[in-house]
């Protein structure tokens, strides 16, 4: 089945530092979604990227979808303690695999005040 | 109402028990999902219902039995579970489309933390 590699597994930053997590696939993706899960919480949808080379911003968060639609990144500028949590990418393969989102392993972000 | 509601929030059961997890949404979403999540791991897809019909079963053991009584409700019946089935069980919904599930954004419930003794 489809696999999505997400790195790093853990990231510890000081408040105010930047943070980036990456997702890579060996196959072309129809779309990629990003979710955030706070400690003790449930995944919350952040964004979906569909187009090759797409870049979307949400305040301090910047999401990119690679030109070949095989990789994606989430960058947070000037982290805050409220950014703590696990960030998952979730890849859609489309076609007959519609509905079968494949989640990356997640990046656990810790922000030290 | 823009939430997916799951009950119970916590459940402890023995290996011989029968229990059910419930999920409800009133957003008119026509696709509903069950995911299983172990600590520090990503959610794993178990089942997808599209327009109240089971459209995806990810080779889940028969001790897990899903049911979609109507467009707002999704149940997961549990019977003869094993300790390794202890996990957070997440329900999710998405808008859905007539042709089947799509890669739409998922709205997750807060989950049921299940412990099997």
DSSP string for residues in A1-24:
---EEEE-SEEEEETT--EEEEEE
Pick from A99, A103, A110 the residue to mutate for testing the B interface (most B CBs within 10 Å): A99
Contacts of B98 (CB under 8 A, 6+ apart): B51
Answer whether residue A70 shows pLDDT above 60: yes
Contacts of A40 (CB under 8 A, 6+ apart): none
> Do the beta carbons of residue B12 and residue B117 sit within 8 Å?
yes
> Do the beta carbons of residue B44 and residue B85 sit within 8 Å?
no
**Average pLDDT for chain A:** 94
Answer whether residue B45 shows pLDDT above 90: yes
Least CA distance to B4: which residue of chain A? A42
Residues on chain A touching B107 (C-beta within 8 angstroms): 45
pLDDT attached to residue A111: 98
| pLDDT band at B97; cut points 50, 70, 90 | confident
B100 close contact with A: CB closer than 8 A: yes
> Do the beta carbons of residue B56 and residue B5 sit within 8 Å?
no
Residues on chain B touching A106 (C-beta within 8 angstroms): 40-42
B51 close contact with A: CB closer than 8 A: no
For residues A107, A108, A112, A113, the Cα torsion angle rounded to the nearest 10 degrees is 90
Answer whether residue B46 shows pLDDT above 60: yes
B41 close contact with A: CB closer than 8 A: yes
Residues on chain B touching A105 (C-beta within 8 angstroms): 41-42
Contacts of A96 (CB under 8 A, 6+ apart): none
Closest CA of chain B from A40, distance in Å: 9
Least CA distance to A34: which residue of chain B? B105
> Do the beta carbons of residue B65 and residue B39 sit within 8 Å?
no
Phi-psi map region of A75: left, alpha, beta (phi>0 left; psi -120 to 50 alpha): beta
Interface of A with B in 28-47 (CB under 8 A): 30-31, 33, 35, 41-45
Report the pLDDT averaged over residues A80-93: 94
For residues A35, A36, A42, A45, the Cα torsion angle rounded to the nearest 10 degrees is -40
A92 close contact with B: CB closer than 8 A: yes
Answer whether residue B38 shows pLDDT above 80: yes
pLDDT attached to residue A76: 98
Query: Is the model more confident about A56 or about B96?
Result: A56
pLDDT attached to residue A95: 67
> Do the beta carbons of residue A36 and residue A87 sit within 8 Å?
yes
pLDDT attached to residue B99: 62
Answer whether residue B87 shows pLDDT above 70: yes
- CA A44 to chain CA centroid, nearest Å: 12
Q: Tell me: the pLDDT tens digits for B50-85?
A: 899 998 898 999 999 999 999 999 999 999 999 999
């Amino acid at each position: 089945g489809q696999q999505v590699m997400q790195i790093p597994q853990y990231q510890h930053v000081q408040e105010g530092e930047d943070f980036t997590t990456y997702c890579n696939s060996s196959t072309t993706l129809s779309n990629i979604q990003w979710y955030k899960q706070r400690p003790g919480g449930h995944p919350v949808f952040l964004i979906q990227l569909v187009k090759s080379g797409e870049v979307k911003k949400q305040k301090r968060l910047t999401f990119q979808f690679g030109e070949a639609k095989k990789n994606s990144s989430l960058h947070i500028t000037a982290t805050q303690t409220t950014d703590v949590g696990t960030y998952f990418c979730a890849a859609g393969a489309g076609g007959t695999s519609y509905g079968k989102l494949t989640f990356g392993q997640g990046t656990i972000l810790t922000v030290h005040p | 109402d823009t939430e997916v509601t799951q009950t119970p929030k916590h459940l402890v059961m023995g290996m011989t028990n029968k229990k059910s997890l419930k999920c409800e949404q009133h957003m008119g979403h026509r696709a509903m999902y069950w995911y299983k999540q172990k600590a520090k791991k990503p959610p794993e897809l178990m089942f997808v219902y599209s327009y109240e019909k089971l459209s995806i079963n990810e080779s889940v053991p028969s001790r897990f039995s899903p049911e979609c009584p109507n467009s707002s409700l999704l149940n997961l019946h549990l019977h003869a579970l094993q300790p390794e089935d202890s996990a957070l069980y997440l329900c999710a919904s998405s808008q859905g489309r007539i042709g089947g599930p799509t890669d739409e954004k998922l709205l997750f419930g807060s989950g049921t933390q299940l412990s099997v003794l």
